[in-house]
Amino acid sequence: MATVKEHYDGVLADVYSWMFGGFASGVTRNTDFFNTRGIRPVQSGVALDLGAGCGFQSIPLARLGFKVTAIDLSGPLLRELEGNAGSLPIETVEGDLTCFDDHVKETVELVVCMTDTVLHLPSREAVAVLFGKVAAALDDAGTLILTFRDLSGELTGVDRFIPVKSDEDTILTCFLEYGAETVTVHDLVHTNGQGGWTLKASCYEKLRLSGAWVHAQLEGAGFGSVDVTEEGGVVTVVARK
Ligand SMILES: C[S@@+](CC[C@H](N)C(=O)[O-])C[C@H]1O[C@@H](n2cnc3c(N)ncnc32)[C@H](O)[C@@H]1O
């Protein structure tokens, strides 16, 4: 089993933007997401992007006027973010998001942790501890936004093979193996090069969290307003202090 960093650096970083239809498409989708929810800097203007990846959230937030700290374990994905950030006010930190408080000295207006990043933490306890730390770091009316796939239900048999994305040169397939509290996610990337097709494969674990469990944890961490919606199996959480 790979660590999260090994999995991203070794297999997913090369195909991450491609998997989402390209860098520009990922940025546009997230810009729409923040605009639809009226996300704008009104207090400290400091935003934290936990598990920032290649910057699909950091770049829209910086364009909206936030000063962004983008934290991720994956060097290759952060280099991609930096290559696309230009002069935007984004500071990148290659490190563990659970230690975000080592890197932020001001109070924070907005924390985002999106596209399954929260499922990459090692345990439910680690998620609950993170929520408590985020609540403590936020401005009085600060906001936390999470998005993640609800893996609490279980696929069976061949339904566990998911054709994620393909074109004439690359095929990304995912296989899910369910445990009681986690899913082992196997990512298989076939690439067509000069010597024919080659395969890179790696697996790592994701937590099986439901929207209801996350809702209860956030209330327990002191968030006064927690809005949880689910669409197409993806949970969106907007929590305010
Ligand atoms: C599914 S990607 C999401 C990236 C980005 N938020 C997006 O929406 O495209 C998950 C990211 O979280 C990062 N990550 C996972 N666990 C982490 C941790 N403990 N500390 C820092 N980064 C982490 C991974 O390296 C990866 O870039």
pLDDT in tens, 143-173: 999 999 999 999 999 999 999 999 999 999 9
How far apart CA 81 and CA 94 sit, in angstroms, is 12
Residue 77 CA, closest ligand 1 atom number: 27
133, pLDDT greater than 90: yes
pLDDT value of position 147: 98
Q: Which residue type, as a one-letter code, is found at position 153?
A: G
Tell the residue nearest (CA) to atom 13 of ligand 1.
51
Mutate to test the pocket of ligand 1, among 117, 130, 182, 205 (most ligand atoms within 8 A of CB): 117
pLDDT at 105: 85
Q: Kindly list the distances between the CA atom of residue 123 and the CA atoms of 81, 126, 128, in Å, as whole numbers in the listed order.
A: 28, 5, 9
Among residues 65, 58, 61, which one has the least CA distance to residue 83? 58
Q: Domains plus CATH for the chain?
A: 4-150+208-240 (3.40.50.150), 157-206 (2.20.25)
Contacts of 118 (CB under 8 A, 6+ apart): 51, 127, 130, 146, 148, 207, 209, 214
Pocket of ligand 1 (CB under 6 A): 4, 8, 51-53, 56-57, 71-74, 77, 96-98, 114-117, 120
Confidence label for 141 from pLDDT (cuts 50, 70 and 90): confident
Structure confidence by residue, pLDDT tens digits, 26-36 = 999 999 999 99
72 Cα to the center of ligand 1, angstroms:
6
pLDDT band at 83 (very low <50, low <70, confident <90, very high): very high
- pLDDT over 90 at 137, yes or no: yes
